[in-house]
Structure 1
Amino acid sequence: MSSETQDLYPIAVLIDELKHDDVALRLAAIRRISTIALALGADRTRDELIPFLDESIDDEDEVLLALAEELGSFAEFVGGPLFAHLLLTPLETLAAVEETVVREKAVESTAKIGQILSSAQIEEFYIPMVNRLSKGDWFTSRTSACGLYAPIYHLASPRTQEDLRALYATLCNDETPMVRRAGATNLAKLVKKLSKQHVVTEMFPLFSALAQDEQDSVRLLTVEGFISIADVLSPEETKAMLLNILRSMCVDKSWRVRYMIAEKFVAVSKSVGADIVREDLIHAFVQVLKDNEAEVRTAASTQAPGFSAMIDKETVLREILPCIRDLVVDTSQHVRAALATEISGFAPILGKESTIEHLLPLFLQLLKDEASEVRLNIISKLDKVNDVIGIELLSQSLLPAIVELAEDKQWRVRLAIIENIPLLASQLGVKFFDEKLGALCMTWLGDCVFSIREAATTNLRKLTEVFGYDWAKQTIIPKVLAMGQHSNYLYRMTTIFAITTFAHVVNGEVLKDLIVPTVTSLAADPIPNIRFNVAKSMEELVPLLKKTGLSGLLGDPIKLSLLKLSEDKDTDVRFFANRALAALTA
């Protein structure tokens, strides 16, 4: 192959692959363009590859998405920031395609390129591109343009900044709702780059119009813009300019708008200042907590502790807590589940006495909820209440709820409570655990579902990490070892899994005196599945024994057991035994 032919080879291969009928092959070719660019060098990448890629933007969305992503990190392959503006040409084309995800990725990559351009390149190449997209015939290009102002605004000259603000205003007033949505979405980002004067005189009128748009899909996107503008204004200006708009959002006829304001209520409250929160937002928050739509109440539930932390305790007890009592018995399981996750956040706000009097009854009511998700959410957040009132008061109703969940007919519920046991153990302490939950953890080892038995062994390892291996040696390990003598082979199998898991968190003494003897004794088990799992366990024990200075055990009894297993009549047993022997001699 001549040097000239060899030089042309990478681009020729790429051309062939991008013209191939197989989408997967075309996608793989796009994923390799950085490698091809390296082979071509910066000059040929600029002169040949980039023009070719620009001409190739007529493909499946999956391929175009990959191209848009690759171009965002392609500056080094065209010769660095000095030539990075060349990437704007294919990205401009991608920013105008029909598929939304492709456009979004193209905008993200274009903004990334814009960050490394010089002011001269911004003025000469980036701004004209933004102009073309902003004035495009199709809404797709105008939608993409909205996301390209904020990333480079601070890099543009004052005169260009003035033009950019005027052009952005036309997009926010576009006749197409999709463009106005994009304008509302990106308004907050642009506001953060502007001076207060420009925010007040130019951005606020745009925000006000968008917040009152006839399309609820536009109005719901103005919440972030509200927060950004409020951060710029003084409390007095916020009250004069934004308060009526906020009130309107809280009672908007569209539940989706109310949902968005409910979901961001804490952030909104922080942006407007303590006075407005105290004087005006308490009633507004009560409204969203009592909203007719379950989705809005769900969002408001997640904000309740955060908002309550911003007002005084008496007001929380008088205004907010009655709403929380209603939500505890809400008809929607999603509302109750969301509240269960957050309700413990009230404990530090209310203090011990009020928590015991007002919060604990609600807490215990949720622990008895018919939906297991609600009960699980409560249990997973015990620490905050425990810190305030102590475990004795909680344990009286806590234990029945845990036992009920542990015996739930849905194995996924049982799995979820097992995963929460180490957290509970760390919160409740070793004494409570040994008295109330230790036996429960052992019963899971005999569960009829393998995933539960597997999770139960992992649970015991995590408990050992919480309480220490001395505790495990005295409390858990003897019970696990006793299962190795059980007549049911599943119990013996679980013993192998459990002690192999334990081996990673115990000391050399436990390894030597308890774990190794149990594993080797099970090597003679009549069930082949037990024997090959013994071989797998021994393979895992080998590096642990070496690490803890117990290499003497690798000969007798480990090696002798493996040699015997390597001659087993069962093929699988021989395979795993030989693999363990290989690890032993490595």
Structure 2
Amino acid sequence: MVRRAAASKLGEFAKVLELDSVKSEIVPLFANLASDEQDSVRLLAVEACVSIAQLLSQDDLEALVMPTLRQAAEDKSWRVRYMVADKFSELQKAVGPKITLNDLIPAFQNLLKDCEAEVRAAAAHKVKELCENLPSEGRETIIMNQILPYIKELVSDTNQHVKSALASVIMGLSTILGKENTIEHLLPLFLAQLKDECPEVRLNIISNLDCVNEVIGIRQLSQSLLPAIVELAEDAKWRVRLAIIEYMPLLAGQLGVEFFDEKLNSLCMAWLVDHVYAIREAATSNLMKLVQKFGTEWAQNTIVPKVLVMANDPNYLHRMTTLFCINALSEACGQEITTKQMLPIVLKMAGDQVANVRFNVAKSLQKIGPILDTEALQEEVKPILQKLGQDEDVDVKYFAQEAISVVAQRLRKLDFPVKDSEEPSALGADKNHFRRSRGPGEDSGKGPAYQLHVNTRDTLA
């Protein structure tokens, strides 16, 4: 434990010493710790290697550090080899391009075909960074001849974590290798990963499509993308379904509105009736992002009619999803579509037999209130809220009061006449409190008879 603590601080300590002291004192200590009998000490020496290598010249590196680093890359303990793979990009920058080509590339090849899956996965994660950090002159040749053959083997690795790690970075190689190499060498690998049995592999490929889109365009992948997307969209694990929903706006933007309407629109609508609430919620948010991307005209023709049909669904959860969608879409669609198409459905649902739906109607009217014009607020919204304010369910009453408060404030801002009883301070008060808060005729010009006849409905109005 003491040696471990020393090994963890060795690199920091070396940075504050003179170069001669580093060579004479620290390097021998580093070599000694890197040969320690405990692998937990040896793996920390790898971390110290990064800091020490940055301080030395190329000749000193070759003579003093590289023998130890080569030894660590082939260590009998997989934990030490894992640490070398995990710190590979930092080591590559510290030792420079010459040593990278002579020593680190062969070491990296061995790590990519290591017998331990954890080591292969750590190395696979570093593929893109390694390639990016290679010198621009000759980079393409090095990748094609010395890295790509090993990557091809990892695509069909037996361990799903290795394949998943590779899938998260392999798309980034397309920007480094260019269009021709991507189409000829990388595209077959992408297509194979899109058909992989592991959903995480397919998901990682789909989540990085923007890299390939910049180089070869998404059409090259579209026919293979579709089956992979459909499988992920219907995966038994809800977290996988959730992840693909989050990438749908990105996919829609890259594939275009025609492809989306033809192939993916039905998937987005199916998510709205998923049995998991988190999926329905994400699907609602997804629709809003799609409307922002494709425009209100597309929404009016394609999305809004399908959402509004759900208002008649026998399942009350699906009817509530309609309200959630209206809440999300109203801002993106604007006043005209909200008033003409969405508002009538919300008002109709105020008579729903399920209390949860009714109080969500009140919440929806509160949400879309700022988007509606004053006439709709006064003539259509307020009467429905007044009716809900007399509902037998206490939660419906409560949310109706909240909504009326917001509507009254909006009407007042627009210089629309509002009764004093519609002030937020009066809402929810009982009759006695209302009488105590106002004297006979105070502010209103009305006498005691007015106060005596204030009923619950007036208070909630």
Match of 2:131 among 294, 305, 308: 308
Distance in structure 1 (CA, Å) of the matches to 2:380 and 2:26: 78
Q: Which residue does the alignment assign to 2:159?
A: 332
Query: Which deviations, in whole Å up to 9, do the C-alpha atoms of 1:107-130 show, x marking residues without a partner?
Result: xxxxxxxxxxxxxxxxxxxxxxxx
Q: Which residue does the alignment assign to 2:301?
A: 474
Q: Which residue does the alignment assign to 1:450?
A: 277
Classify the secondary structure of the residue corresponding to 1:242: helix
Corresponding letter in the other structure for 2:284: T
Distance in structure 2 (CA, Å) of the matches to 1:439 and 1:398: 16
Distance in structure 2 (CA, Å) of the matches to 1:465 and 1:193: 54
Q: Which residue does the alignment assign to 2:406?
A: 583
Match of 2:212 among 377, 380, 385: 385
State the Cα distance separating 1:409 from its structure 2 match. Answer: 2.3
Query: Which deviations, in whole Å up to 9, do the C-alpha atoms of 1:158-188 show, x marking residues without a partner?
Result: xxxxxxxxxxxxxxxxxxxx11111111222
Classify the secondary structure of the residue corresponding to 1:484: helix
**Closer, same or farther in 2 for the Cα pair 1:480/1:320, shift >3 Å?**
same
Native 8 Å contact 2:27 2:65 kept in 1: no
Distance in structure 2 (CA, Å) of the matches to 1:555 and 1:492: 25
Q: Which residue does the alignment assign to 2:57?
A: 234
Distance in structure 1 (CA, Å) of the matches to 2:269 and 2:280: 10
Query: Which deviations, in whole Å up to 9, do the C-alpha atoms of 1:50-109 show, x marking residues without a partner?
Result: xxxxxxxxxxxxxxxxxxxxxxxxxxxxxxxxxxxxxxxxxxxxxxxxxxxxxxxxxxxx
Corresponding letter in the other structure for 1:469: T
Match of 1:567 among 367, 390, 409: 390
Corresponding letter in the other structure for 1:276: I
Structure 1 segment 136-175 matched on structure 2, within 5 A: none
Distance in structure 2 (CA, Å) of the matches to 1:308 and 1:495: 48
Distance in structure 2 (CA, Å) of the matches to 1:431 and 1:200: 65
State the Cα distance separating 1:379 from its structure 2 match. Answer: 0.8
Q: Which residue does the alignment assign to 1:269?
A: 92
State the Cα distance separating 1:190 from its structure 2 match. Answer: 2.3
Classify the secondary structure of the residue corresponding to 2:332: coil
State the Cα distance separating 1:373 from its structure 2 match. Answer: 1.2
Q: Which residue does the alignment assign to 2:341?
A: 514
Query: Which deviations, in whole Å up to 9, do the C-alpha atoms of 1:364-412 show, x marking residues without a partner?
Result: 1111111111111111111111211111111010011001111122222
Match of 2:41 among 214, 218, 221: 218
Distance in structure 1 (CA, Å) of the matches to 2:164 and 2:198: 8
Query: Which deviations, in whole Å up to 9, do the C-alpha atoms of 1:498-557 show, x marking residues without a partner?
Result: 111122433233333333232222212233222111012122233x33xxx734433221
Native 8 Å contact 2:39 2:80 kept in 1: yes
Corresponding letter in the other structure for 2:273: G
Distance in structure 1 (CA, Å) of the matches to 2:20 and 2:292: 58
Distance in structure 2 (CA, Å) of the matches to 1:434 and 1:287: 47
Q: Which residue does the alignment assign to 2:237?
A: 410
Match of 2:223 among 382, 389, 396: 396
Query: Which deviations, in whole Å up to 9, do the C-alpha atoms of 1:23-75 show, x marking residues without a partner?
Result: xxxxxxxxxxxxxxxxxxxxxxxxxxxxxxxxxxxxxxxxxxxxxxxxxxxxx
Q: Which residue does the alignment assign to 1:532?
A: 359
Native 8 Å contact 1:386 1:394 kept in 2: no
Corresponding letter in the other structure for 2:103: D
**Closer, same or farther in 2 for the Cα pair 1:192/1:510, shift >3 Å?**
farther
Distance in structure 2 (CA, Å) of the matches to 1:393 and 1:286: 30
Q: Please state if 1:342 is matched with 2:165.
A: no
TM-score, structure 2 as length reference? 0.83
Distance in structure 2 (CA, Å) of the matches to 1:414 and 1:268: 38
Distance in structure 1 (CA, Å) of the matches to 2:320 and 2:79: 53
Query: Which deviations, in whole Å up to 9, do the C-alpha atoms of 1:553-583 show, x marking residues without a partner?
Result: 3322111111011112333322221222233
Distance in structure 1 (CA, Å) of the matches to 2:16 and 2:332: 52
Match of 1:283 among 65, 85, 106: 106
Native 8 Å contact 2:78 2:119 kept in 1: yes
Native 8 Å contact 2:319 2:357 kept in 1: yes
Distance in structure 2 (CA, Å) of the matches to 1:233 and 1:503: 63
Q: How many corresponding residue pairs?
A: 405
Q: Which runs of 5+ in 2 are unaligned?
A: 409-423, 425-461
Distance in structure 2 (CA, Å) of the matches to 1:232 and 1:472: 60
Q: Which runs of 5+ in 1 are unaligned?
A: 1-177
Match of 1:462 among 285, 289, 310: 289
State the Cα distance separating 1:290 from its structure 2 match. Answer: 0.5
Distance in structure 1 (CA, Å) of the matches to 2:198 and 2:398: 47
TM-score, structure 1 as length reference? 0.66
Q: Which residue does the alignment assign to 1:257?
A: 80
Native 8 Å contact 1:220 1:256 kept in 2: yes
Question: Which structure is higher in RCO with an 8 Å CA cutoff and minimum separation 6?
Answer: 2
Percent identity reads 54
Distance in structure 2 (CA, Å) of the matches to 1:239 and 1:426: 50
**Closer, same or farther in 2 for the Cα pair 1:517/1:191, shift >3 Å?**
farther
Native 8 Å contact 2:330 2:368 kept in 1: yes
Q: Which residue does the alignment assign to 1:441?
A: 268
Corresponding letter in the other structure for 2:37: E
Structure 1 segment 68-87 matched on structure 2, within 5 A: none
Classify the secondary structure of the residue corresponding to 1:291: coil
Corresponding letter in the other structure for 1:234: S
Classify the secondary structure of the residue corresponding to 1:505: helix
Q: Which residue does the alignment assign to 1:357?
A: 184
Distance in structure 1 (CA, Å) of the matches to 2:399 and 2:36: 68
**Closer, same or farther in 2 for the Cα pair 1:187/1:506, shift >3 Å?**
farther
Distance in structure 1 (CA, Å) of the matches to 2:397 and 2:256: 45
Distance in structure 2 (CA, Å) of the matches to 1:450 and 1:436: 24
Q: CA RMSD in A?
A: 1.9
